[in-house]
Structure 1
Amino acid sequence: MGLVQRLTDPNIRKHLLRDEGEVIVDEVSHHWVVFVVPVLEYLLAIAVLIAFPFFPVDLAWLPLLLAFAIAVHATYRSLVEHMDRFVITNMRVFRVNGVFSQQLATMPLSRILDITVQKPLRGRVLGYGHFVFESAAQAQGLREIRYVARPDARDLAIQRVVQRAGLRGPKVN
């Protein structure tokens, strides 16, 4: 595996407890809306390059450097969003994020007390929402997961896994 592939692949499977029978129920990447700002930054870099002929010859390096810096920033922001993954398994939920250094936050299903799904108006129109997890722990890395596509379906998937694991009371008809 090359350096570029290691930096662009979150490699979720290496964090699974395979010996314990853990399987992925859902792997959640961010909604496409998080890539709008990096795309706009790329367009700005292109606009700077288009304006290149209008700069004096002695300052010709300035638009090239500026366009390169903008494109590098847009690439980094895209990678940050791409590498941020929220994973639901049959035993726990966890989040892996980070480009150069990675952070892993894990919460067993039994510790999830409440899940709030926030859907702002823009999110309702575009199909995304935010999860806020409440647990017995004070502070954790899974408190808020933002820009989740299909938040209602993801919430039902978590509730279904929790129910199948027998962590909530039996269904009452």
Structure 2
Amino acid sequence: MLRGVFDPDIRRHLLREEGEVIVDEVRHHGIVYVLPVLEVVVALALVVAVPFVDLDLAWFPFALALAILLHAAWRALTEHMDRFVITNMRVFRVHGVLSQQLATMPLSRILDITVKKPLHGRLLGFGHFVFESAAQEQGLRDIRFVGRPDDRDLAIQRVVQRSGLRGPRVSN
């Protein structure tokens, strides 16, 4: 039951009657969980420090640790619920915890994909996508912390090519 609450239901957004299938469901790279883990470490350090403070004020480090733990859990859940999906017809992103947002772009509207890989991203295996389309602003412009960005870029290019949107392949 908890899996249904804490996991976005990607399949319900598919156009099954039209033959849409998932090519790749992209979760954030593990690097996004570093800050929530550091927050948990800080909260645990506060709890360990409680015996060394005045007993009249012992509630304060516990309350602060609880607040930090809740913030870390919320942050981790926010990252976990953010999904980027590549299908044979479109790309879309579902994100949000209490309320969800869905941003969709048909493959025919993708004009350009920029893959940005900062130095630490190249070392750790993640990058960021920037989608350019005919529209000026769309909800699917920046997709950050994508694991194996080159493979995902190739998957999108392959799907676009197979759909015939970029013209026929030329053989030598």
2:88 is aligned with 1:76: no
Q: What aligned pairs does 1:143-158 form with structure 2 within 5 A after superposition? A: 143-158=141-156
SS in 2 for 1:94: strand
Which of 18, 21, 30 is the equivalent residue of 1:20?
18
Structure-2 residue corresponding to 1:92: 90
Q: Distance in 2 between matches of 1:153 and 1:168?
A: 19
Cα distance, 1:157 vs structure 2: 0.1
Q: Which consecutive unaligned segments of at least 5 residues does structure 1 have?
A: none
Q: Distance in 2 between matches of 1:94 and 1:22?
A: 12
Q: Distance in 2 between matches of 1:6 and 1:156?
A: 31
TM-score (norm 1): 0.97
Does the CA-based 8 Å contact 1:97-1:104 persist in structure 2? yes
Q: Distance in 1 between matches of 2:25 and 2:3?
A: 19
Cα distance, 1:6 vs structure 2: 3.9
Cα distance, 1:43 vs structure 2: 0.4
Q: Distance in 1 between matches of 2:135 and 2:13?
A: 22
Q: What aligned pairs does 1:76-155 form with structure 2 within 5 A after superposition? A: 76-155=74-153
Q: Distance in 2 between matches of 1:38 and 1:73?
A: 8
2:57 is aligned with 1:59: yes
Q: What aligned pairs does 1:26-37 form with structure 2 within 5 A after superposition? A: 26-37=24-35
Cα distance, 1:169 vs structure 2: 1.6
Amino acid at match of 1:46: L
Q: Distance in 2 between matches of 1:98 and 1:112?
A: 24
Q: Distance in 2 between matches of 1:172 and 1:130?
A: 30
Cα distance, 1:55 vs structure 2: 1.3
After TM superposition, which residue ranges in structure 1, 4 or more long, deviate above 4 angstroms? none
Does the CA-based 8 Å contact 1:7-1:100 persist in structure 2? no
Does the CA-based 8 Å contact 1:129-1:151 persist in structure 2? yes
Aligned residue pairs, count: 171
TM-score (norm 2): 0.97
CA deviation vs aligned residue, 1:62-113 (integer Å, no higher than 9, x gap)? 0110000000000000001000000000000000000111000000000000
